[in-house]
Amino acid sequence: MLAWMAALSLGWLALSSPLDTTWNWLFAGCVVTAVAVAIVLVGRRARARRDAAAAVLAAIDASLAALPGDIRSNTALVLVLGDSPDTLTRAFGDAVVRITDAAIWVRIDASDRLAEVAAVLKQWRLGQGPEAVACLVSADQAEVSSTVSPAPSPALSPAMATTLWQWRSTIGAASRAVGYPLPACLAIQTAEADGPSDDCPWFQIATTPQGGDMLDALALQLASYAAQVQPADRAARMYRGARLAALARWTIDTVLPALQQDQPDRRHAGPPLSLWACAVIATAGAPVAGSRLTMYVTRQTSLAPQTRDGRRAAFPLPDALARGLAVRHAQSVLPRALAHGFAWLCVAFCAAAAASAWQNRALVARVMADMAHYETLTVERDAARRDALAVLRRDREELDRHARNGVPVRLALGFYRGGTLREPLARLIDGYQPPPPPPATIELDSLSLFRSGSATLNPGSNRVLIGALDMIKAHPDKRVLVAGHTDSTGNAQANVRLSEARAASVRDWLADAAALPLTHFAVQGYGATRPKASNDTVAGRAANRRVEITLVPDCRDARGGDPATPGHPACSFPSKE
């Protein structure tokens, strides 16, 4: 199960995780480490259980070696706890296992090992766990009272109370270890010095009725028991019955509440026990005079305590009670493991579906945000439009790849919606139109800007330059070439200087009006070297006197160089012929 959970976790991280690759590797390392540690701990726990139950398993194998093979599965297996080592010794002697007609009785010397032994015995019986736990109580143990007079209170001694609370805790732990609640059988024994010649049977106390109903049912059993003999033995049986009735009341008033009721002052105690049987019996032996039970029985019955010394008889196992104990069926671990594996698979699928839904939502939101951003850009912001268009093309390539190669697992599981975005993406990309190219040249008549032979702008020349200024502002990414031209009248060198001076004047006005640095402009004086018309006519000479303003690409955009030196042509500006 641990390996299966680790495989599901690593598969989710590899195929469905929305996290970054670094985080995926980090979590994968944590998963592998945690599972490795858990496997080591589970292995140690299993070895500890096997070691704790090794002696019990060896004794069971030795005891069952000579019996038929089906005895293991057809006979009830009962784990036996005792309130003291002496109680278990009187019940088992030196043996660990006793086999009777009704059950296989397994001795548990340390109650804190009950869970380990129960789990290992379930494996030994191939999935068929123990049927019950029997709790043996020697009621008249040496619980010497601090008072001289008989104690009227039926309260438990601290040692007995601690033992009962430990049984609740250990039986609860054993129930969790085997996977089902283990029923408990409470067998309480008292000693009698002078009893009838026959052996005393077990007298059962009902565990479902309360108070007087229990005692009334027991009284009927004791009356029937006393009436079944000759008058010579009837007195001894009546004496035994009175003591057993007092023992039953003591059990109902003290022992059963400690096992079956919540104990707010004992939080470490386990859950209340489910008793399938509770019985009392009297055996040969002398009761301890100072025990709480002896004093309680004396107070309840007014019978003199029996204090004669004598050897205590063996503690008979409650074989008669075990005859009605149903044998459990073997439970294979495979169906339970498959159920747990399927449950974890469902959890992993839900986690993968949640991750897929989240990533598909993020994909749709991202593509739609890219499309909305592109649509907000106007034609004048063509550079930003081209950048947004490149993002849209990457989005379309991603969606086309999903359509061509299949949707990846992280986006699949029925949540993929990227296919519906391909068509609107294609429409936006195919609908892109570059802005119209800027006019190649704006030509200005020199006579409208300057007086004859002057390079100073006329006062009314602003209106003529407004069109050129608007063109420059509309294309801030272009550099500006201002070229001056003259006719052929006069000295050629003087004409070149005049044309360059006029270009510089126009350049200065445009730079100031557009708030652009002078490095954004270049000036060129051509004189009469580039006529548009013949200089032989008045109209031709007027056409040749002009200033041309041209937008050209910035050489720094293509070559990453420095801007052109002010007053000189840029690398992309036309040069003199």
423 and 464 belong to one structural domain? no
In tens, the pLDDT along 399-439 reads 999 988 888 888 888 888 888 888 999 999 988 888 776 66
Residue 103 falls within a domain, yes or no? yes
Interhelix angle 114-124/54-64, nearest 10 degrees: 40
The shares of helix, strand and coil residues in the chain, as percent rounded to the nearest 5, are 55, 15, 35
Distances (CA, A) of 69 to 65, 73, 74, 349, 429: 8, 9, 10, 46, 82
| Lowest mean pLDDT, pick from 229-233, 533-537, 570-574 | 570-574
So what's the pLDDT on residue 35?
92
The reported pTM is 0.58
277 and 391 belong to one structural domain? no
So what's the pLDDT on residue 260?
81
So what's the pLDDT on residue 397?
93
d(CA 236, CA 225): 11
Domain of 485, CATH number, reads 3.30.1330.60
128 and 262 belong to one structural domain? yes
Last residue of a domain, one of 403, 430, 457: 430
Considering 27-41, 46-60, 149-163, 273-287, the range whose residues carry the highest mean pLDDT is 27-41
Residue 5 falls within a domain, yes or no? no
Element (H, E) at 282: strand 275-284
In tens, the pLDDT along 341-355 reads 999 999 999 999 999
b/e string for 451-488 if b means 16 or more Cβ within 10 A?
Answer: eeeebebeeebeebbeebbebbeebeebbbbbbbbbbb
| Lowest mean pLDDT, pick from 87-101, 231-245, 365-379, 441-455 | 231-245
Residue 314's CB is within 10 A of a number of other CB atoms, namely 14
417 and 454 belong to one structural domain? no
Q: Which domain holds residue 548?
A: 441-559
Residue 47 falls within a domain, yes or no? no
446 and 380 belong to one structural domain? no
Residue 38 falls within a domain, yes or no? no
Average pLDDT on 3-23 reads 91
470 and 553 belong to one structural domain? yes
283 and 158 belong to one structural domain? yes
Residue 17 falls within a domain, yes or no? no
Residue 37 falls within a domain, yes or no? no
Residue 435 falls within a domain, yes or no? no
Judged by DSSP in three states, 535 sits in coil
Q: How many domains is the chain built from? A: 3
Residue 495, phi then psi, degrees to nearest 5: -65, -40
385 and 460 belong to one structural domain? no
Can you tell me which residue has the tokens 């009356």?
A: 223
Q: Is the pLDDT of residue 144 over 80?
A: no
179 and 312 belong to one structural domain? yes
So what's the pLDDT on residue 5?
92
d(CA 100, CA 319): 7
378 and 425 belong to one structural domain? yes
Q: What is the DSSP letter of 101?
A: S
413 and 484 belong to one structural domain? no
Residue 16 falls within a domain, yes or no? no
308: tokens are 């004669």
Paired strand residues for 538: none
So what's the pLDDT on residue 62?
79
Sheet-wide strand order for 275-284: 97-99, 103-107, 76-82, 132-138, 184-192, 275-284, 203-204
More confident residue, 10 or 243: 10
